[in-house]
Amino acid sequence: MDLPRTFTIRERDHRIHNPIDDVKLATLGRAIRLRPGMTLLDLACGSGELLCTWSRDHGVAGTGVDISTVFLAAARSRAAELGVADRVRFTHGDAAGHVSDEPVDVAACVGATWIGGGVPGTIDLLSRSLRPGGMLLVGEPYWLLDPPDHATVEACDAIAAESFRDLPGLIELFGQLGWDLVEMVLADGDSWDRYAAAQWLSVRTWLDANPDDELAEQFRAELRDAPLRHVRYRRRYLGWGVFALMRR
């Protein structure tokens, strides 16, 4: 059980596997008023930057769960680097269906709501690990502009235009599900660039070192197409944010 090699090659140099940079991640940690001793669960935690930096900066403890052995190795290394390995731990496994043994103060799924089959299912899954009065963090894309055609939808990694809502529609959905939106931090063009463009450099340097790999042809085609797709479609049409929710 692991992520496809294409994914870990593409994002091997990322600490944050979403279009949110370290400044915005730090802003989010302050905005939700983390305090020493609070506990977090981070489902699909990637390389663990959220848990590790928030443990360092706010004294929180927690657990991250991810399917990628490559990213979990990076997360454990980062925890040791920041001196928080005694407060955070990382578990290899499928985050879908994972429920904490003990209720936590904050339950997060930042940019991987497919683990619950979409936003409603992910909110339901996270809520099963949450203590009364606790907070959920959900990272999710939304349309900045209505996609005009299927090419736009496809370039934004959506199955159909209905795969994502616009921002008002997403916030309305949270309310319909019985949750108050209490904070949010949204991506901007620069944070999208840092997420996407870093992948191009990682792919290019990997190709230079592995020109005869079985994935080389696929990655050469991707490197030709991905930058134009990003500036033509994703940067223009797709937003992304982390939303803090508390049960009504």
Q: What is the mean pLDDT of residues 219-231?
A: 96
Q: What is the mean pLDDT of residues 205-223?
A: 97
At residue 170, the pLDDT reads 98
When mean pLDDT is compared across 22-36, 65-79, 155-169, the lowest value belongs to 155-169
Average pLDDT, the chain: 96
Structure tokens at 32: 């939700």
When mean pLDDT is compared across 1-10, 15-24, 108-117, the lowest value belongs to 1-10
Range of the domain at 46: 5-143+158-188+240-247
CA 163, 166, 171, 172 torsion-angle sign: negative
At residue 2, the pLDDT reads 84
Q: How confident is the model at residue 198 (pLDDT cuts 50, 70, 90)?
A: very high
d(CA 39, CA 36): 9
At residue 160, the pLDDT reads 83
Express each pLDDT in 40-92 by its tens digit: 999 999 999 999 999 999 999 999 999 999 999 999 999 999 999 999 999 99
Q: What is the mean pLDDT of residues 125-129?
A: 98
At residue 239, the pLDDT reads 97
At residue 89, the pLDDT reads 98
pLDDT at 181 over 80: yes
Answer whether residue 117 is part of any domain: yes
Express each pLDDT in 130-149 by its tens digit: 999 999 999 999 999 999 99
Q: How confident is the model at residue 1 (pLDDT cuts 50, 70, 90)?
A: confident
At residue 159, the pLDDT reads 87
Answer whether residue 208 is part of any domain: no
Answer whether residue 233 is part of any domain: no
Answer whether residue 231 is part of any domain: no
User: Do strands 130-143 and 179-186 pair parallel, antiparallel, or not at all (unpaired)?
Assistant: unpaired
At residue 119, the pLDDT reads 97
Which residues are within 8 A (CB) of 142 and not within 5 positions of it... i.e. 6 or more apart?
164, 165, 166, 167, 169, 170, 238, 239, 240, 241
Answer whether residue 74 is part of any domain: yes
Answer whether residue 232 is part of any domain: no
Answer whether residue 91 is part of any domain: yes
For the chain, the domain total comes to 1
What's 132's domain CATH number?
3.40.50.150
pTM, 2 dp: 0.96
Q: What is the mean pLDDT of residues 174-178?
A: 98
Answer whether residue 82 is part of any domain: yes
Q: Residue 52 — φ and ψ, nearest 5°?
A: -65, -45
